[in-house]
Structure formats: C-alpha cells, structure tokens
A and B are shown apart, each in its own frame.
Chain A
Amino acid sequence: MESIYLDNSATTQPSPEVILAVQKTMEHIYGNPSSLHKKGIAAERILNDCRERVAHILGAEIGEIYFTSGGTEGNNLAIKGLAAARGLEKKHLICSAVEHPSTIEAVRYLEKEGLKVTYLPVDEEGFVDGKLLKESLTKETMLVSIMHVNNEIGTVQPVKKIAEIIKENSRALFHCDMVQSFLRLPLTGEGPGPDLITISAHKIQGPKGVGVLYKKGGISLKPLFHGGGQEEGLRSGTENVPAIAGLSASLQKEFDSQRVQEMKDHLTQSIIDAFPWVKVNSPPKDSAPHILSLSFPGFKGEVLLHALEEEGVYVSTGSACHAKTVQISHVLEAIGLSREEAQGTLRFSLSEENTPGQIEMAGRKIVQAVKGLSSFAGGKR
C-alpha cells in the first residue's frame, strides 16, 4: 500500500539532495568550523554559504542570520533572550493566543517571573485584530510575537500590516515565528518586516535539529547557552555543520504554492461533498496553501487518525488523549470550537511531494473511514 503522508506540518520527508548533502558533509567536511586549519575553514565555508542563501531569501544581511537547533530554540532565544537583555521590570510583551507552544510556554515562563503579558485573542478564523493590537501596545511593550502561519489551522496573519501597526504606535520589536511559512508563502505588502524571525529546517524537507534566527542588526539579545562564543556569542556550541549543509540544500527546493493549494482545495471539496456537516477550520481566504484543518463533530480524531493510518494515510489530530481526559489544543479553543468539534479535528498538511493522484486517493479513503466509523460516532452523527 502506498503511503500518503499528509503530516508535513509536523515534519517533512528530507529530499534526496538534503540527505546527500548531510552525508557528504559528514564524510568529507568533518572539521570544526572554529578550527584554524583548513579542515575548519572548509566547515566554516558551509556555514557561510548557508547564511548567504538564507539572508538572500529574507532580504537580510549575512550578519543577521544565526544558526539554532530549530524552531523551539529560535522562539525561546528571541523571546527569553530579549527579556534577559532588557529586564522584566516595567516591561510588557504581547503575543497571540494561537502561537506555537515554544512561544507561549516561553512567554508564560517570563510571566511567572514577573513580566506583564497580553495574550491577543483571535477571531473564529484565527486572525488577530489589528485594532486590539494597537490598543494593547504601551510605552512599556518591548516585544510583540505573532506567527506568520498558524501550524494547526493555517491562518495567515497580515505580518506587514502588523509590523506597521507596531512601528507606528510603539517602540516594540516584532518577532515572527515563520516556521510554517518560510519558503511556503512570501511576506506580502509594503513596508518593514519583523525584527526577529524564527525558521526551522525540517519543515522544508531539511534535516531535524537545525534552524535559523534572523535578528535585525543592532538588536541585542542575551544568549541561552554560554560557552565557546560561536555565532557571535549568541549561540555557543559547535555548529551542526552537516545539518546546516542539509538546510542549504533544502533552500534550493521549489515549492509550487498554487499546485499545493489546488490539491488542498480538491481534498476539502471531496470531503465536504460527502459530508456537508464537516466544519472547515482553515479560513477560506488568507490560509496557508498546505494546511487544512477539519472537524468531524461526534468522531474522535484519534480514532479517525488510526483508521486512516491503516489505509496508509498519515495525519494529525487537534487534541491529544491522555488516559481518561482529553486535552484540547489551545488553538482550537481560541477559535471557539466546541469540545465535540475539537475532539473530532484532523489536520491534513501537504507538501510538494504529494501528487493530485494521492490527494484523490486520500479523499476517498477519508470518506470511507468516516463512513466506516459512523456507527461509533456519538452526538449528531
């Protein structure tokens, strides 16, 4: 049975070029980039090459690109690093209620330590309200952290507009978690972008364990790790050279956003046609081309997931079962889903590797699985 992998927001399959780059680097370029001899220089060249490519894509300077271990470290470094540099006293931070746990939990930690925090609510499609953001900004606000694309439902925040509101109304910095959007969709609109950007390689068919924090020149962050002073002292620890070579390779991979969007639309349509009662959580407009969140009220997401797994279709749920209690995701809660809807939520996330044939097949298998389990569904069904 063919695997149809629709869990690309969790992680992606590394492309052959990436695997080759990692392997070749491990084989031949094993020097420590900090070493003075030529083995070290060869390794450093890999870092510089990657830095250059990322900087080019972001329209940034090479000196503004810092390697991290991935999204969680990037978000933590941006938020906790800034708080450590500025102090918590009389300081304020704003983040949306639908941020990734690595943002929310870092913020909650600082809140416990005494930082004032505003969690911006979102509407039922997951968008933050610009007016509310404006009202929340104060003289003390040092950072606003809002993600570009939501990882659970795919909502695309108007990043440039948000940046404009922040810049016009405060002196706060803007951090944007672009883990789900980097190389998937561009930042549209005029004007300045975020001051800090988090990127992760394994969401774009790169290796796990590597990512980038973009930090606009002049911003000072305190490091999370102390040590040998790599990455200009911001991130000590020998750089993950093979993974960075893999990241470089993944940057060269094309992503045909329109093709993926068409597959997503097709998948949505085939499910909705069969079950008009299914709730589409991803917004109809300004939604990422590769993320589709659907609620099957009355069904248990985990059961549907396993039923699809048996058919070779791999997806995610919107809630995690823990023994007897069901934990509902904060994102689904924030967009106002009922408990029943949240429990029955599945996320399908596509990639360039999927084909229209696969999506056709997946749609059929999803419909089949739902029909097969309908006698077990409680509530409305």
Chain B
Amino acid sequence: MSFFLIRYGEISVKGQNRSFFIQTLIKNIRKKIPDQELHIRQRAGRIYLESSCLEKEVIPFLKKIPGIVSISPFQQVASDVNALQETGQRLVQKKIPGTPLRFRVTTKRAHKGFPLTSMEISRAVGAYVLRNTEQLTVDLENPDLTLYIEVRKEGSFLYTEKIPGVGGLPVGTSGRGLLLLSGGIDSPVAGWMTLKRGVQIEALYFHSPPFIGERSKEKVVDLCGTLKGYAPKIRLSVISLTPSLKQLKEKIPEKYLIIVMRRIMMRMAETLAEEKNIPALITGESIGQVASQTLENLMAISAVIRRPVLRPLSGMDKMEIIKLAREIGTYRISIRPYEDCCTLFVPKHPILKPRIEELERLEERLPIDSLIKKAMDEKERVTI
C-alpha cells in the first residue's frame, strides 16, 4: 500500500477549464498506473493517490505524466502527537546519509480542533526526532531535509520528499498534433516537448524501402514506445516515400532534391492531418543545424501547407537537445547505428535560399496529387 500527494501547477490557473484539466490529468494517471485498486481523490488543489502497489513501482510512472509538478509519497497516521513523532522519526532516519544533516519540521494544520497549534506540533515532533536521531541539527533557514506534516481530522500525512514531475499540462488538454518522427535524435524530443504542453501527439514516419531498412522502422516504433511513457497513447502511421523518391531522382536537379522532398512530405503530412482532423504539425527542425535548415528553407517547406508547424527545438543547441533526449530516454534508441546510411539523397550542396516560384516550377514535373493519394491509400498503422 502506498500514498502519494500530487501537485499540479499551471492547471490551477486555468479558470473555468480547471475541472476539465484536472479530470484529464486524473484520467491519464489512471491509464498509466498498473493498479486495479487505485483510489484518486482531489482536494484543495491537489490530488491524493492511494495505490495497492509499492511506492517504487508507482513513482517511475508518475514522474513521466505531464501536468504533474511534484510528487510526495507520504505516510498516513492517526492525528495523534505520539504517532506523528514516531513516524516522523522513522521517515527522517531513512534519509540520514551518514553525514551531519540540518533539518526542520513544517506543519500545516487543517484540523483546527487539534489540541496543538502548527508551531507546537513542529516543535514537539522536531524535538522528538532530534533526540532519537544521530547526526542531526535543526536549521529553520537552510535545512537539508524538511519533514512536512499535514494534520487533518481523519488522519495526518507525513513526508520528506518532493520528487519533481515533468510539469506542463495534462496530455489531451491542448488538442492533438501530428509529429513527423524520424529515427534521429531531434524529432522525438520535439514530440516530448509538445506532449509536455498537453498536446496528444500522433506520429508519422516516412519509410522508404529499400533505401532504408526495416530496422530503422523498428527504431521509430521503439521511439514511439518511449514517448508513450509520457502519454496515455501514441498512434503511429507509416507512409512510404519510395514512389516519390523515384520520381524526384528522375526529374528534380540534385541540389533541389531535399527541399522538394520535404515539401512533398509536408503535403502528405497535412493530408493525413486533414483526414484525422488534427490542427497542427510538429517537426524536430531547428535553425541552422544543418545546411538545409535555413529560414528560407523553413519558409519554403511551410509554404505548401495551411496548418501551423510547431518547431519546439528551433531555439535549442544540439547539445541541449542531446541532453534532453538522454533524460527522456530516446537518445539510446536514436543513436542505434542503422540509420539512413543512404547518402543517396543528400547532395553535397543543397540549395540554401530557394525561390518558391522556382520550386513550384520544378514541382510541375511531378504528379504530386497522385503521389499523395497513393501514399494515403497505402499507409500503414502500427500499434504501439
């Protein structure tokens, strides 16, 4: 049996939508915690969770749910000074690292009928803990450890930890977005960043057999699996780019290949988004990371579609992206070696400042509508 106090942040300021946000968060928590007997209550701007699982089984899941700012596993005891003292001592004892530690007690008294005031409770428990624990000193200003006590009529809570959560908004409260997911380092991070803002993402992977092997697709499936840790669900659609690549290679000059290919990918993504009624696209593009990511190129890419393209990484450095990718667990998957080794479509000198009229003129050589239709007809849905 374990108990958790869950704090949410931005949700509390969301005015009349508040209850929708909280209900979504609770729904997401239920979906993620593998526990049939989960009890969730919501009170005074917090969520209280009671699980039949062990603390260490539940925490890893909670730490990944967007909308949760922090998690405090707590002990529940009768509202009685002796019980508070003993449990408080036990909790502090667990945290003693073997070197001297400064601590304090902070009490909140919701049960106004309790015989002691908050201050008196803190003092009584603090003194008891101090007496019974080695290497402990009191420091009210700069404690290394705080023992929190909340006294309620039906029982009191004690905890020492505030485990940071992902923060942000519950997934699903900001609508849906279509993530263009490759096997690389960037796009999964972009997906995570939008998940964190409450967007339920659906992933789209452009496969191009035989130029890209089946293992690259596996990689994308695994990336979706990792992202699913942060969301109630992830859907993945796979679209074959091969027929388009064949046309491109035949009809488009080499230095325009990538930009025209991207424009085709965007059109396909938008068609899929249209079908699924998704209002925005998400990409892992950042500015200037590779030669083809100039602002002119981004403009040329976005020019073929009407939906907004979210590029959450546009302001980040590669090192920052890598750091985040490691933290969210996608890096290990992204760096698997079987990447698109096919330098086949990577010209030595891609065009940096394309003129849109020029691109449009070139694209007249391609049967774009039928390419898109074929791609949609043959798309594959992968269950994550």
Residues of A within 8 A of B (CB): 300, 302-310, 321-324, 326, 369, 373, 375-376
Is B342 in contact with chain A by the CB < 8 A criterion? yes
Contact residues of A: prevailing secondary structure? helix
| Nearest A residue (CB) for B337 | A322
Tell me, yes or no, whether B210 is within 8 Å of chain A by CB: yes
Stretch among B8-16, B110-118, B191-199, B211-219 lining the A interface = B211-219
Interface size for B (C-beta < 8 A) is 16
What separation, in Å, do the CA atoms of A373 and B210 have in the docked complex?
Answer: 9
In the complex with contacts A375-B250, A376-B249, A306-B209 CB distance below 8 A: yes
A306→B213 contact, CB < 8 A:
yes
Give the top 4 A-B pairs by smallest Cβ distance, nearest first.
A321-B341, A306-B210, A307-B210, A322-B337
Complex Cα distance A302/B343, Å? Answer: 12
Distance of A244 from chain B, by nearest CB (Å): 33
A-B contact pairs, 21 of them (CB 8 A): A300-B341, A302-B213, A302-B342, A303-B211, A303-B344, A306-B210, A306-B212, A309-B210, A310-B209, A310-B210, A321-B337, A321-B338, A323-B337, A323-B339, A324-B341, A324-B343, A373-B210, A375-B246, A375-B249, A376-B211, A376-B246
**Nearest opposing residue in chain A for B245, CB measure:** A376
* A322-B341 in contact (CB<8A): yes
Asked if residues A304 and B339 are in contact (CB atoms below 8 Å), the reply is no
Set of chain A residues within 8 Å of B250, measured between Cβ atoms: 375
Q: How far is the CA of A300 from the CA of B210 in the complex (A)?
A: 10
Instruction: Name B's interface SS.
Output: loop
Known contacts A309-B214, A310-B209; A303/B249 CB under 8 A: no
In contact, B341 and A304 (Cβ under 8 angstroms): no
Separation of A285 and B176 alpha carbons in the complex (Å) = 64
A310, A321, A322 — most chain B CB neighbours (10 Å): A321
Nearest-CB distance from B330 to chain A (Å)?
Answer: 17
A307 to B211, CA, bound (A): 8
Which A residues are CB-close (under 8 A) to B343? Answer: 324
- Bound form: Cα–Cα A300–B340 in Å: 12
Residues of A close to B344: CB separation below 8 A: 300, 303, 376
B90 to chain A, nearest CB (A): 46
* Complex CA–CA separation, A375 to B249 (angstroms): 8
User: CA A322 – CA B337 in complex, angstroms?
Assistant: 5
In the bound complex, CA of A303 to CA of B212 (Å): 7
Q: Do B211 and A306 touch across chains, with their CB atoms under 8 A apart? A: yes
Residues of B within 8 A of A309 (CB): 209-210, 213-214
Q: Are A303 and B342 in contact (CB under 8 A)?
A: yes
- Distance between Cα atoms of A303 and B249 in the complex (Å): 15
Q: How many Å from the CB of A367 to the closest CB on chain B?
A: 15
Q: A302-B213, A303-B342 given. 17 additional CB < 8 A pairs?
A: A300-B341, A300-B342, A303-B210, A305-B210, A305-B213, A306-B212, A306-B213, A307-B210, A308-B210, A309-B210, A309-B214, A321-B338, A324-B343, A373-B210, A375-B246, A376-B211, A376-B246
| Interface residue ranges, B against A (CB under 8 Å) | 209-214, 246, 249-250, 337-339, 341-344
**Chain B, Cβ-Cβ closest to A373:** B210
Q: How far is the CA of A272 from the CA of B242 in the complex (A)?
A: 27
The listed residue (A310, A323, A373) touching B341 by CB distance below 8 A is A323
Bound complex: CA of A369 vs CA of B211, how far in Å? 12
Contact of B210 among A304, A324, A326, A375 (CB under 8 A): A304
Measured between beta carbons, the chain B residues less than 8 angstroms from A304 are 210
Q: How far is the CA of A375 from the CA of B242 in the complex (A)?
A: 13
Most buried by A among B210, B250, B337: B210
Nearest CB of chain B from residue A345's CB, rounded to whole Å:
15
Residues of B within 8 A of A326 (CB): 341
CA distance A308 to B213 in the complex (A): 11
The interface residues of chain A lying within 8 Å CB-to-CB of B213 are: 302, 305-306, 309
Q: Please name all residues of chain B whose beta carbon is closer than 8 Å to the beta carbon of A310 when the two chains form the complex.
A: 209-210
Check A306–B214 contact: CB distance below 8 A. Answer: yes
**Contact indicator A302/B341 (Cβ below 8 Å):** yes
Q: How far is the CA of A375 from the CA of B210 in the complex (A)?
A: 14
Name which residue of chain A comes closest to B335, CB basis. Answer: A323
Nearest B residue (CB) for A321:
B341
Kindly state the separation between the CA atoms of A364 and B103 in the bound complex, as whole angstroms: 78
Q: How far is the CA of A306 from the CA of B343 in the complex (A)?
A: 15
Chain A residues near B341 (CB-CB < 8 A): 300, 302, 321-324, 326
Question: For residue A343, which residue of chain B has the nearest CB?
Answer: B341
Q: Which residue of A lies closest to B215 (CB)?
A: A306
Q: List chain B residues, Cβ under 8 A from A307.
A: 209-210
Instruction: Report chain A residues within 8 Å CB of B209.
Output: 306-307, 309-310
What's the nearest-Cβ distance from chain B to residue A304, in Å?
7
Can you name the residue of chain A whose Cβ is closest to the Cβ of B346? A324
Least CB separation from B341: chain A residue: A321
| Distance between Cα atoms of A326 and B337 in the complex (Å) | 11
Tell me how far the C-beta of B80 lies from the nearest C-beta in chain A, rounded to whole angstroms.
59
Q: Considering residues B246, B341, B342, B344, which has the most beta carbons from chain A within 10 angstroms of its beta carbon?
A: B341
A376 to B210, CA, bound (A): 11
- Closest A residue to B339 by beta carbon equals A323
B246 to chain A: closest residue by CB:
A375
Query: How far, in Å, is A120 (CB) from chain B's closest CB?
Result: 31
Q: Which residues of chain A are near B338, meaning CB under 8 Å?
A: 321
Measured between alpha carbons, how far is A326 from B338 in the docked complex, in Å? 11
List B contacts of A321 (CB < 8 A). Answer: 337-339, 341-342
In the assembled complex, the CB of A29 is this many whole angstroms from the nearest CB of chain B, namely 38
B residues near A308, Cβ cutoff 8 Å = 210
Taken together as a complex, chains A and B put the C-alpha atoms of A376 and B346 apart, in Å, by 12
Nearest-neighbour CB distance to chain B for A314, whole angstroms, equals 12
Chain B: minimal CB distance from A351 (Å): 23
Query: Shortest distance in angstroms between A325's beta carbon and chain B's nearest beta carbon?
Result: 9
* Bound-complex Cα distance A23 to B161 (A): 53
Contacts of A324 in B (CB 8 A): 341, 343
Q: Which of A307, A310, A322, A323 has the most CB of B within 10 A?
A: A323
Q: Nearest Cβ distance between residue B306 and chain A, in whole angstroms? A: 33
